[in-house]
């Protein structure tokens, strides 16, 4: 048997294990026990090193964790603080939002209130609180549309207070406004539930509207028949016959009512209102305190009235006015001592037109002041022409409209006429109606005192027909009063007229004021007036209004006995020139003629 190698009997450690142990020694050359110890020591050292490394890592991790924990805590604290701040901010914003919402609510309420007030202002009358014209037109448009769909009927009543202007001018605008307020309430109360057929808004009835100063309109729909409307109109008229209690005054104001119906009188709101207005004016022409239904004849009358107004404007532009003169004689002597200047319109279509046919229209159209100033200037020029012709000086009386006082042009017009013509102011007399003093006593008195200061005189025309008070004669700056023809014409038959006339004459004499009787047509009237002591007379008994040439011939004669010119004033003559009378006017034969007898009244409304 082959003997064994002794080195082969030593334990063998694999090379990999020796490598793990980190032995750098050739383990195979070591004693197994030493190798194991070395391996164990090496492994332990490696474990300790690994443990120490792990501990260091763990410690670093712990420190990092602690740092992160602190950061997290800090972040948590910051989050808490932020949450608290956020809560405060939210509460603050909520409060601010609540405040803004409250302000918005207040502003919304304010704007809604303002809008309601604006709507009320644009749709309601400020004085009476009734619907105004704008609201009425809206309601009327809707009512007509509904009536057209249903083939129904609509009616409007135009209501106007009679003599409201007189009340307003006499008692003042404050009382006038209070009267309008009470009138609105009375109209509303008179319209019964079954009559209230206007368009309603918000449950409020709106059948009565105020459309102008003293004008109201009632709107009706689903009208049964004309008799029902007549009954309503009569109920309104009856209600207004009772006086109003206004600021301690008892004020009487009746109404005039005009009625127009759809579709008979028009298909549009404006047309119905216009036609109802025409019917209302017809009611006034018929004596007021009544009602009228519209008829197409009224429209024709309104057209004629408009034609007259347009004609007057052209007459001013084209100098179509002429002045005629009616003599005034001294009682007892029949001597011509004055003349009244009376305007006529020489119309290309109608010939010579009397003032009664156009003066009222001229006043309403605002033309009377221009016409009055022209007449004043023309009369003064004619007075001067007569003087230059060597004719006797007489007093020239010129009528003055109250509108000339309101426009405050009268004093200037008088001064201008006197200065330009060079006449003696003492030969000029202004005739005013007593109503002028009722409207504005102080202003009228001041103006007339200034005119008298120039030397001119003042007469009250138509005395006794207005709101006469004999006590006024003591207060007013007047030189004479003209007794109205309505008293003169019945002197021979009515005792009351004789006594009134006698009282006027006696009072005037006591106050040192002259009296002039106008409209004297009979010898009996002249004798009664002479017996009473009337100072002057004027009328057809002596002479009608005549043109300047004829008046010049009358002045040359100087005296007009009663009826002495009867039959001598030719009823026809060709048109004459409007040139002023010259010195030749007093020459020639005494062949009197006058255009005054050619007066053609223009009918501005149907009777």
pLDDT for residue 580 is more than 80: no
* Whether 538 contacts 517, CB under 8 Å: yes
- % of the chain beyond a pLDDT of 90: 34
Based on the fold, state whether residues 270 and 326 are members of the same structural domain: no
Quote the tokens at residue 366. 């605002």
pLDDT digits (tens, 9 = 90+) for 136-150: 888 899 999 988 888
* Burial class of residue 72 (count of CB atoms within 10 Å of its CB; 0-12, 13-18, 19+): exposed
Q: Which domain holds residue 308?
A: 303-598
Based on the fold, state whether residues 165 and 194 are members of the same structural domain: yes
Based on the fold, state whether residues 182 and 323 are members of the same structural domain: no
What confidence category does residue 196 fall into, taking pLDDT thresholds of 50, 70 and 90?
Answer: very low
More confident residue, 600 or 563: 563
What confidence category does residue 482 fall into, taking pLDDT thresholds of 50, 70 and 90?
Answer: very high
More confident residue, 83 or 108: 83
Based on the fold, state whether residues 473 and 328 are members of the same structural domain: yes
Among the three residues 263, 294, 325, which one is the final residue of a domain in this structure? 294
Starting at the edge strand found earlier in the chain, the sheet holding 208-212 runs 208-212, 215-221, 154-161, 255-262, 291-293
pLDDT for residue 211 is more than 50: yes
Q: Which range among 190-194, 201-205, 509-513, 529-533 has the greatest average pLDDT?
A: 529-533
Among the three residues 294, 314, 330, which one is the final residue of a domain in this structure? 294
Cα angle for residues 505, 510, 513 (degrees, 5° grid): 65
Among the three residues 294, 312, 336, which one is the final residue of a domain in this structure? 294
Model pLDDT, residue 249:
82
Quote the tokens at residue 270. 């404006």
* Burial class of residue 419 (count of CB atoms within 10 Å of its CB; 0-12, 13-18, 19+): exposed
Label the pairing between strands 291-293 and 255-262: parallel
pLDDT for residue 491 is more than 80: yes
Domain holding 169: CATH number? 3.30.70.270
197 located within any domain: yes
Model pLDDT, residue 183:
92
603 located within any domain: no
Based on the fold, state whether residues 307 and 285 are members of the same structural domain: no
Task: Please compute the mean of the pLDDT values over residues 194-221 and round it to a whole number.
Answer: 66
pLDDT for residue 390 is more than 90: yes
- Enumerate residues 6+ apart whose C-beta is below 8 A from 511: 473, 474
Going 279 to 280 to 286 to 289, the CA torsion angle's sign is positive
In angstroms, the CA 273 to CA 269 distance is 6
pLDDT for residue 199 is more than 50: no
Model pLDDT, residue 179:
92
- Enumerate residues 6+ apart whose C-beta is below 8 A from 72: none
In angstroms, the CA 56 to CA 66 distance is 15
Model pLDDT, residue 408:
62
Based on the fold, state whether residues 589 and 446 are members of the same structural domain: yes
Based on the fold, state whether residues 388 and 497 are members of the same structural domain: yes
pLDDT digits (tens, 9 = 90+) for 503-531: 999 988 998 999 999 999 999 999 999 99
pLDDT for residue 600 is more than 80: no
* Whether 570 contacts 520, CB under 8 Å: no
Task: Please compute the mean of the pLDDT values over residues 372-397 and round it to a whole number.
Answer: 94
Q: How many structural domains is the chain composed of?
A: 3
What confidence category does residue 120 fall into, taking pLDDT thresholds of 50, 70 and 90?
Answer: low
pLDDT digits (tens, 9 = 90+) for 425-445: 999 999 988 766 665 667 778
* Whether 227 contacts 245, CB under 8 Å: no
CA distances from 492 to 331, 520, 521, 536 (A): 18, 12, 12, 18
Based on the fold, state whether residues 289 and 309 are members of the same structural domain: no
Based on the fold, state whether residues 281 and 313 are members of the same structural domain: no
560 located within any domain: yes
What confidence category does residue 407 fall into, taking pLDDT thresholds of 50, 70 and 90?
Answer: low
What confidence category does residue 307 fall into, taking pLDDT thresholds of 50, 70 and 90?
Answer: confident
Answering whether pTM is above 0.75, one says no
More confident residue, 397 or 226: 397
Q: Which of 44-48, 166-170, 302-306, 466-470 has the lowest mean pLDDT?
A: 466-470
Based on the fold, state whether residues 263 and 308 are members of the same structural domain: no
pLDDT for residue 190 is more than 50: yes
Q: Which of 68-77, 192-201, 293-302 has the lowest mean pLDDT?
A: 192-201
Tally the C-alpha atoms within 13 A of residue 288's C-alpha that lie toward its C-beta: 10
Going 33 to 35 to 37 to 40, the CA torsion angle's sign is negative
Model pLDDT, residue 128:
87
54 located within any domain: no
pLDDT for residue 391 is more than 50: yes
Cα angle for residues 170, 174, 177 (degrees, 5° grid): 100
Going 537 to 540 to 546 to 551, the CA torsion angle's sign is negative
Give me Rg for the CA atoms of the chain. 55
What confidence category does residue 248 fall into, taking pLDDT thresholds of 50, 70 and 90?
Answer: confident
What confidence category does residue 567 fall into, taking pLDDT thresholds of 50, 70 and 90?
Answer: low
In angstroms, the CA 132 to CA 138 distance is 10
Task: Please compute the mean of the pLDDT values over residues 361-387 and round it to a whole number.
Answer: 91
DSSP string over 422-453: ---GGGEEEEEETHHHHH-HHHHHHHHHHHHH
Average pLDDT score, the chain: 80
Based on the fold, state whether residues 364 and 425 are members of the same structural domain: yes
Tally the C-alpha atoms within 13 A of residue 561's C-alpha that lie toward its C-beta: 1
4 located within any domain: no
Helices (H) and strands (E) counted in the chain, each on its own, are 19, 16
More confident residue, 402 or 98: 98
Domain holding 551: CATH number? 3.20.20.450
46 located within any domain: no
pLDDT for residue 261 is more than 80: yes
Phi, psi values for residue 5, rounded to 5°: -75, 130
337 located within any domain: yes
What confidence category does residue 555 fall into, taking pLDDT thresholds of 50, 70 and 90?
Answer: very high
Model pLDDT, residue 344:
93
Nearest Cα to Cα of residue 572 among 551, 597, 602: 597
Based on the fold, state whether residues 336 and 282 are members of the same structural domain: no
Task: Please compute the mean of the pLDDT values over residues 406-428 and round it to a whole number.
Answer: 87
pLDDT for residue 267 is more than 80: yes
Model pLDDT, residue 217:
94
Model pLDDT, residue 429:
95
Longest Cα–Cα distance of the chain, Å, equals 214
97 located within any domain: yes
Q: Which of 35-39, 46-50, 231-235, 340-344 has the lowest mean pLDDT?
A: 35-39
């Amino acid at each position: 048997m082959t003997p064994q190698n002794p080195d082969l009997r030593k334990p063998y450690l694999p090379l990999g294990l020796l490598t793990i142990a980190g032995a750098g020694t050739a383990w195979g050359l070591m004693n197994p026990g030493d190798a194991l110890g070395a391996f164990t020591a090496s492994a332990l050292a490696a474990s300790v090193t690994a443990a120490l490394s792990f501990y260091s890592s763990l410690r670093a991790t712990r420190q990092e964790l602690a740092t992160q924990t602190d950061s997290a805590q800090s972040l948590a604290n910051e989050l808490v603080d932020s949450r608290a701040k956020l809560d405060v901010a939210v509460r603050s914003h909520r409060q601010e939002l609540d405040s803004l919402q409250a302000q918005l609510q207040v502003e919304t309420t304010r704007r809604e209130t303002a809008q309601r007030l604006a709507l009320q202002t644009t749709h309601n009358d400020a004085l009476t609180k009734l619907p105004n014209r704008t609201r009425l037109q809206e309601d009327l448009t809707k009512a007509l549309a509904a009536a057209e769909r249903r083939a129904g009927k609509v009616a409007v009543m135009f209501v106007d207070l009679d003599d409201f202007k007189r009340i307003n001018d006499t008692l003042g605008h404050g009382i006038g406004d209070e009267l309008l307020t009470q009138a609105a309430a009375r109209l509303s109360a008179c319209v019964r539930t079954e009559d209230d057929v206007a368009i309603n808004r918000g449950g409020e009835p709106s059948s009565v509207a105020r459309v102008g100063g003293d004008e109201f309109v009632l709107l009706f729909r689903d009208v049964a028949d004309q008799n029902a409307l007549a009954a309503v109109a009569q109920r309104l008229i009856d209600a207004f016959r009772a006086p109003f209690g206004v600021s301690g005054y008892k004020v009487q104001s009746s109404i005039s009512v005009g009625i127009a119906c759809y579709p008979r009188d028009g298909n549009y709101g404006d047309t119905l209102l216009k036609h109802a207005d025409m019917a209302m004016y017809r009611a006034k022409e018929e004596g007021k305190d009544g009602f009228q239904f519209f008829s197409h004849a009224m429209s024709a009358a309104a057209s004629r009235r408009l034609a007259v107004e347009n004609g007057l404007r052209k007459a001013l532009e084209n100098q179509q006015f002429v002045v005629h003169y009616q003599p005034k004689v001294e009682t007892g002597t029949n001597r011509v001592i004055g003349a009244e200047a009376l305007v006529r319109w020489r119309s290309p279509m109608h010939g010579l037109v009397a003032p009664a046919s156009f003066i009222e229209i001229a006043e309403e159209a605002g033309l009377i002041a221009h016409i009055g100033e022209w007449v004043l200037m023309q009369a003064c020029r004619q007075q001067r022409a007569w003087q230059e012709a060597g004719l006797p000086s007489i007093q020239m009386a010129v009528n003055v409209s109250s509108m000339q006082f309101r426009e405050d042009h009268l004093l200037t017009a008088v001064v201008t006429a006197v200065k330009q013509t060079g006449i003696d102011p003492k030969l000029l007399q202004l005739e005013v109606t007593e109503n002028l003093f009722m409207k504005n006593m102080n202003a009228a008195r001041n103006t007339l005192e200034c005119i008298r200061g120039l030397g001119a005189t003042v007469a009250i025309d138509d005395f006794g027909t207005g709101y006469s008070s004999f006590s006024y004669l003591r207060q007013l700056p007047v030189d004479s009063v003209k007794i109205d023809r309505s008293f003169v014409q019945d002197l021979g038959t009515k005792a009351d007229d004789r006594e009134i006339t006698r009282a006027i004459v006696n009072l005037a004499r006591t106050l040192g004021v002259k009296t002039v009787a106008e409209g004297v047509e009979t010898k009996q009237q002249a004798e009664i007036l002479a017996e009473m002591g009337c100072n002057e007379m004027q009328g057809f008994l002596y002479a009608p209004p005549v043109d300047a040439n004829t008046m010049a011939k009358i002045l040359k004669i100087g005296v007009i006995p009663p009826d002495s010119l009867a039959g001598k004033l030719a009823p026809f003559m060709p048109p004459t020139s409007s040139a002023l009378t010259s010195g030749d006017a007093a020459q020639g034969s005494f062949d009197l003629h006058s255009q005054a007898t050619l007066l053609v009244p223009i009918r501005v409304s149907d009777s």
